[in-house]
Each structure stands twice: as structure tokens, then as C-alpha cells.
């Protein structure tokens, strides 16, 4: 059982490393960082395989798409970058990548806080009626 858990943890660390390499490229726009992300993507795609696949698999193809989207300039309507950001499980890494490509992301806590304040303000006057210059309680 621990072997399966260890393998899963190793795979998650590898994927996090790949995401960090893509973040590094998003920040630097350096060809060396892009090549590092591509190389690592190739390693992830060929993990557990004795030969390297001829066509790009998920990690290589995704790396190419994300890097091309970063090069072309990130816009909030860029579907490739939105899809990539949605795949990231780690909230801090997700926020860092979104910031690096120029997306504005409000955290869930900020959204919940704003919603809570709005509901609280709306409930402030509940149960009171307006009668001319006075407010009376029902």
C-alpha cells in the first residue's frame, strides 16, 4: 500500500515541478526556461515507458500550447490559459500563474467576504418601515 502512495506522491511532486517550470517561463519569457519545461514534459510523458512516444503526449502538448499562449500575450479571454489555470490544484500556484500571465483572480475568501457584507447590509433595514421622517419597527 505504501508503494502506491509513494508513487502517487512522487507523481504529484513531478507535476508540481512541471507547473513551476511553466510559471518560471511565464515570468521570464526566456527560451531556456521554455526548453526546461519542454524537457520535463517529455520526461513526464515517457515515465513508465521504455521508449519515447513519437507524437507529443499530454504534458508536451500542453506545454507547447501554454507557452505559445504566453508568447502571444495573455488576455482574459485566452481559453488555453484559462483552462491551464483551472487545472492547477494548488491555490497559491494557481494565483501566482494567473498573476504572471496578467489574469486578475479574486480568492474565494475575498468573494465570500464581499457576499457576506452585502447580505449583512441588505438585512440591516429588514423589519423596519418608512413613515415620513421616522423609521418605525414592525
Every domain of the chain and the residues it spans: 2-137
Global pTM value: 0.69
More confident residue, 131 or 93: 93
Residue from 19, 39, 25 nearest 71 by CA: 25
DSSP for residue 49? -
Asked if the model's pLDDT at residue 113 lies above 60, the reply is no
Q: How far apart are CA 125 and CA 99, in angstroms?
A: 39
More confident residue, 93 or 11: 93
13: which residues sit within 8 A by CB, 6+ positions away? none
Residue from 14, 5, 16 nearest 91 by CA: 16
Count of beta carbons in the 10 Å neighbourhood of residue 95 = 16
Amino acid at each position: 500500500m505504501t508503494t502506491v502512495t509513494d508513487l502517487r506522491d512522487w507523481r504529484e511532486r513531478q507535476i508540481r515541478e512541471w507547473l513551476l517550470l511553466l510559471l518560471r517561463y511565464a515570468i521570464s519569457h526566456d527560451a531556456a526556461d521554455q526548453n526546461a519545461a519542454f524537457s520535463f514534459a517529455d520526461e513526464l510523458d515517457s515515465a513508465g515507458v521504455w521508449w519515447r512516444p513519437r507524437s507529443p503526449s499530454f504534458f508536451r502538448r500542453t506545454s507547447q500550447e501554454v507557452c505559445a499562449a504566453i508568447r502571444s500575450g495573455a488576455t482574459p479571454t485566452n481559453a488555453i490559459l484559462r483552462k491551464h489555470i483551472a487545472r492547477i490544484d494548488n491555490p497559491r500556484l494557481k494565483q501566482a500563474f494567473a498573476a504572471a500571465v496578467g489574469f486578475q483572480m479574486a480568492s474565494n475568501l475575498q468573494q465570500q467576504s464581499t457576499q457576506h457584507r452585502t447580505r449583512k447590509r441588505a438585512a440591516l433595514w429588514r423589519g423596519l418601515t418608512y413613515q415620513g421622517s421616522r423609521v418605525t419597527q414592525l
